[in-house]
Amino acid sequence: MLDRRLNAYRPDLADERLAGQVEAARFAAGTPMQVSVPVVDLRAEPRMDSGPQTQMIFGDSVRVFEEMDGWSWVQAERDGYTGYVSAAALERPASDATHMVAVPRTFVYPGSDLRFPHTKALSLGSRVRIVGAAETRGTKYALLESGEALIASHLVPVDEHAADYVAVAETLLHTPYLWGGTSGFGIDCSGLVQLSMWVAGRKVLRDSDMQQNTLGDIIKPDATYSNLKRGDLVFWKGHVAICASPDMLIHASGHTMTVTLEPLQDAIKRIAYLYDLPTLVRRP
């Protein structure tokens, strides 16, 4: 059976690309749309009490298969995740993005002056189209088509990728843990892996079980895990952590409720007490 997290199909409606693979009353191509708010929750059901399965951030592209009662049934273009989002969080695609936010969080101002009240805040990884530049009292700004402005040094061209995804993850230290979170405002364990790799130019799947089955090569750790390297991924059932060094992990932890650095051996012992030992190590 196809993974419903990654394939848009219901008994009444399905993605036309799944014709012949699933049964549905009708098939649709879907309509391209774009996330127009800083962060939007993607839910399993079109209800506010349906917990977020994941999130999408400003500039993310989606395909909308249905809009009803204020909800859009969508599939994210970046990682294929399907679910329901607020229809008000989407707009028709604008011109192609030129830049990406390269810091954990940044503010958007109504004009090129940091003393103006900000209009919104954007997360690391958000994509924007820059059409001009300005400078006020020595601070350089990048200008959006709307006339709004961002701090220019907080952006990089979309084709410029971070060299080290672990270094990206390290910029998110102390970010609050949020189940389903994928942004600099709140993030979970697999969201940290996905967002960090996205900024480093790599698209990866969303959930830890998907990452465990697809990312890199399997590494057999020795008895003390001393053969691990920076960038390796350590998986437990339902959890993933990044090796910041052979003996330190960085992960979005439900224990501290933040993105934290933790000695590898301490994490193994602590997690084993409740859940068991790591299930797999991969080297992306």
Task: Identify the CA nearest to 62 among candidates 97, 87, 95.
Answer: 87
Nearest to 40 by CA among 119, 110, 123, 100: 123
2-58: pLDDT as tens digits: 999 999 999 999 999 999 999 999 999 999 999 999 999 999 999 999 999 999 999
Q: What angle do CA 185, 199, 216 make, to 5 degrees?
A: 115
Task: Output the six-digit token pair for 18.
Answer: 């799944």
Q: In 244-271, which positions are buried (b, 16+ CB within 10 angstroms) versus exposed (e)?
A: beeebbbbbbeeeebbbebebeebbeeb
Q: Where are the domains of the chain?
A: 14-91, 99-157, 165-283
DSSP 281: E
Q: What is the CATH superfamily name and number for domain 165-283?
A: endopeptidase domain like (from Nostoc punctiforme) (3.90.1720.10)
| Distance (Å, whole) CA 208 – CA 223 | 23
Q: Which helix (H) or strand (E) holds 273?
A: helix 264-274
Cα dihedral 233, 236, 241, 246, rounded to 10, equals -60
Tell how far CA 146 is from the center of its chain. Answer: 25
Supply the DSSP symbol for 185.
Answer: T
Cα→Cα distances 119→110, 148, 210, 266, Å? 6, 8, 36, 42
> Using 50, 70 and 90 to split pLDDT, how confident is the model at 94?
confident
| CA-closest candidate to residue 54, choices 71, 74, 68, 34 | 74
Please state which architecture CATH assigns to domain 14-91.
Roll (2.30)
CA dihedral for 202, 208, 210, 215, sign (positive or negative):
positive
> Tell me, what's the pLDDT at 275?
86
pTM (global) more than 0.85: yes
Structure tokens at 217: 């090569």
> Is 2.60.40.1190 the CATH number for 99-157?
no
Q: Do residues 216 and 242 touch, judged by C-beta distance below 8 A?
A: no
* Average pLDDT along the chain: 98
What would the pLDDT profile of 180-195 be if each residue is shown by its tens digit? 999 999 999 999 999 9
d(CA 273, CA 267): 10
> Can 14-91 and 165-283 be said to share one CATH topology?
no
Q: What is the pLDDT of residues 105-123, one digit of tens each?
A: 999 999 999 999 999 999 9
CA distance linking residue 282 with residue 284, whole number of Å: 6
Count CA atoms within 13 Å of residue 235 on its CB side.
24
